[in-house]
Structure formats: structure tokens, C-alpha cells
Amino acid sequence: MSFYDKVRRQKFLSFTLILFTLAIGVLIGTLVQTGAKAAKEQVVAPDATPLTIPSPVQVQNEFSKIAKRLEPCVVNIRTEYIPKKQTTTQNKPNPQFRRRQQQQDPDEGDDDDNGMQQFFQRFFGSPNGGGGGFQFGQPEESPSAAEGSGVVVDRNGYILTNNHVVDKATRIKVKFMNDDNEYPAHVIGTDSDTDLAVIKVDKSNLVAAKIGNSDALQVGDWAMAIGSPFGFQETVTAGIISALARDIGEGATTFQHFIQTDAAINPGNSGGPLLNINGEVIGINTMIASRSGGYQGIGFAMPINTAVKVYNDIIKEGHVTRGSIGIGLQSDNNSELLKVYGADHGVFVQKVYPDSPAEKAGMKVEDVVVSINGKPINKGQDLIDTVADSQVGSTLKFGIIRDKKQMTLNVVVGDRTKTFAELYGGKAAGPDSAGAGMEMRFGMTVQPLNSNARQQMGLKGTSGVLIASVEPGSFADDIGLAKGDVIVELNRQPVSQPEDVKKIQSTLKPGDAVAFHIMRQAQGSRGGGEWTSAFVAGKVPDSNQ
């Protein structure tokens, strides 16, 4: 074999060896990868079956059916308030939503100019923070905006909502679900006493919600709320009826008996419908009880039966006509006070307005109303509702107790707007309680008032003694007596000197009922407000506190 043949043979062998080596490497890599993949699949879930998505089939329940049916009936309401003096320079309203002060007529209960302010601060938080950003009592010189909900109740464009949603609005825009357009609306009428309003859009052939009967409700029934909380349209929440005829307290609306529900109601739901399981409107969502400004499980709705009466009056007359007899009632139903005056139930008459139907019928301060037309009256709201719902000009038989004797008075119901046509008032200097006082039982000191002092205080013609101080936590403090009050009577006996108080107190023993008739200046009067008559009572404690 020649030298060149040997070289060629050696090159061939070398090339063959390289190809063989590469083939072996590829084969080993493939086997390793396949084995690893098989091992991996086997380790994860060897017995698992892949999931499949089925064909879409709608599963409906009663809630989804109601939500779909009510979609065209529930609207979003946006309002702007721009003061006239700023319309030429201010084009954009403040984007922060605020609630504005409502104007309230006087009513049969205690007068409290700050009641609504305090109420909304309590339920929505303080205007200065900590309450979710909503404010009540917006200064009129500042532009503002608000947002809420409403429900179509007439196919010709009539919408029921809350008064606080549209109150003083310069512009009102209504937006329907599944409709990007905004429609201008105008106010037909409002009623601050129930916080209800009727507005109208120029749009016909609408779908109107079906009205239910709120008298048929029971605690535990299903309830749904639909509206635009925080501006989110088409929000549906569900819950139950938590309580009925719920009276929230002073400073809310005059006419209460709210439906309480745990269906989530947030700011922006105001004015929207509360529905039963049949999809019928049973209430108008009005407010929430909240420390943060958001939903915490307690919402309140005005019963639809009340709302229907308001709506019918507004579309007929443009306003609501209510009956009145012209009296002021004791705010709390104090059993000891009633006992001193000879009654075991009823409402204590604290004030009778001059020239009112009650005065003309002979009703007096310190009367206790125990029935109307034979129906027992147990609290002030019972009297307010009965009188307000009575036809103006009709006669009601008031069963009263006076001097521990039963009497009947025939009272002709008057028009509330005429009975309280003019607000009463008067300027009086604040009491100067400086100086030494005589210490009494029950944790208070009193001092005499001479004729000059009474005249300066605006109490000319009124006898009594001035409370100079009240010990915190004492019996006097517990029943509501306060520094600056003037005691006029104690257990129905006139008081003109501190000695009179001591003498009457000495006859009382632990467990006896004791009632104070006092004069008190209006809250926030700063010495210049009107003095009003008030009554506080309690049971004498075991100690001589």
C-alpha cells in the first residue's frame, strides 16, 4: 500500500469516527430529553383529566330576573349648583360631591335648627373629615355637585328620588342604564319633611317600575336595592328587611317609620328603589347609618306607601298639603313625667301656638294626649302621622288628661303651612349665672332671680329660680337639667325662690316620680335666642344625690 493510500485511509477512519461520535451524542440527548419529559408528566398528575369549558347557558334566579326587568326603570341623577353671582366666572363645579342644607318648616315636634346638620354628620361623617368626603350644609357661595339615583314611576318621564339629591340644583342630568346619553330634567316638586322629590325628563314611552305595598312587609323578607353608588351605575345589592317602622331620632325627617335593610346602600344609592322579591318598589333608599361614610350593614328607605302619597300631592298641587294643630311635644316619652301628670301613656304637650287650632279647641300646656279618635297615642310620631294624614278642615277627637282627669277636645285640623306661616322669635339676653347659688338635692345649685334680672334675661312675667351649676353624672344631669335653665315648677308646684325647691324636695322619697317644668334658651342662641318651655322628669334615686 502506497503512502498516499495510507493517508487517505487514515482520514476516512477519522471522519467516520467523528460522525459516529456525533450520532451517539444526538441519540443519547434524545433519549435523555424524552425520558425527562415522561418523568415530568408522570410526577405532576398522571391521573388528571384536562378541563373543558361548556357551552354558555344562562342560569337565572329571581334576583337576576328582577335586575334585568328593572334596568330601564332605574336612573343615575347628576346635579350641579352654581350660584348666580359666580356663573360668569365659574364654569366648573367642585367635583367633590356635597349635601346641601334643606329648608324645613316647623312641625309638631321640638324645633332644632341644627337638627339636619347634626343628623347627616352622624350618619355620613363630620364635614371636616372622617366621613367619606360627603358634606352637609354647603355654603351657597361655592359651586357644588351631587349624584344620586331615581326610579321611573310614569312612562311619560316622571321620576321619584330624594330631595337632597336635587335640592337647589342649577342643572339636573338624568342617565338611563344602557344609554350613553344624558337627558336634562326639571323639578316638579319637593318635600323636605320626607326628603322626597319628583323630577321629569322630556322623554316618553319609558318603562315604569311596578309599585308595591310597604304595609305588607315583614322582617326577614328579601330586599334588593338598585342604584349608582359612588357613580357606578347598574349596581345591584340584595339582603333582607332588618326592621320596620324605624324611627331614627331627632333631626332626621319629620315623617319617619323607615324600612331598615342590610342590602348594601352607599352614597349615590339615594333616591333609588328598594324592591321586594316580586320586583315591586317597596321603598325609596334615603340614607345609611355609618361612621365611615360607607355601607356598614344598615340602610334606611322611606316606605313606598308614604312616597306615593307625597308623589300624588306633588303632581296634583306642586306641593304636599299636611294637617297640623299647632302644638309642640316633649321629645322623649318620659314615663315619670307622664306619671306626675296622671297618665300611664301618651304624649306631653310642651307648647301650644297662639291662634292655632289646638288653642282654639282649648288645649293647654301640660295636657297629655292619650288618644285620637279613640286610637291610643303612645309617642309623638303617632300623633304627627295621624294629624298630618288627616284632611284639612276635618275634626279629630283628642282624648287628653288634664289635672289627672280625662277630657275630650274636638280639634279642627288646619293646613300646616298656614298654621306655621310665620316663625315665632324674640330677643333675650342670656342668663348670667355667675355668683353664689344655693345647693340643692340631686346635684345642682340654684340662685334666685329678681324682677330686674328676669327682665334683662327676657323672662319678664316669669317666676322661677336659675340653675347656677349641675354636677356631672348627678341625677339632675341624668334627667337633662343644665346650667342656665330656669325652674318654673317642681312636681306641678310653682317655684319662685330656692327655698321653694328645698321644701318640695324634702317631701320626696327614693322611687318617687319627680318632674321639672323649666324655661330654656334655644341651642346656639348665645344669649339672644327665644326662651322655650320644657319638661324633664325622672325617678328619685336611692341616695340624696
Active site residues: 164, 195, 270
Amino acid identity, residue 275?
L
Burial code (b: 16+ CB inside 10 Å, e: under 16) for 49-60 equals: eeeeeeeeeeee
Cβ-contact 521, 530 below 8 angstroms: yes
Which residues, 6+ apart, have CB-to-CB distance to 517 below 8 Å?
A: 366, 487, 488, 489, 490, 492, 533, 534, 535
Cβ-contact 356, 292 below 8 angstroms: no
For the CA atoms of 247, 253, 259, 261, the dihedral, rounded to the nearest 10 degrees, stands at -100
Closest CA to 306 of 267, 255, 376, 349: 255
Measured between alpha carbons, how far is 320 from 316 in angstroms, rounded to an integer?
Answer: 9
**H-assigned helices in 299-379:** 304-317, 335-340, 357-361
Tell me the sheet residues that pair with 196.
162, 191
For the CA atoms of 357, 359, 362, 367, the dihedral, rounded to the nearest 10 degrees, stands at 110
Measured between alpha carbons, how far is 529 from 525 in angstroms, rounded to an integer?
Answer: 4
Which residues, 6+ apart, have CB-to-CB distance to 541 below 8 Å?
A: 442, 475, 510
Measured between alpha carbons, how far is 242 from 476 in angstroms, rounded to an integer?
Answer: 37
Amino acid identity, residue 255?
F
The grid cell for 491 is 312636681
Cβ-contact 284, 302 below 8 angstroms: yes
Amino acid identity, residue 466?
L
Cβ-contact 327, 307 below 8 angstroms: no
Kindly report the backbone phi and psi dihedral angles of residue 121, in degrees, each rounded to the nearest multiple of 5, phi listed first: -65, -40
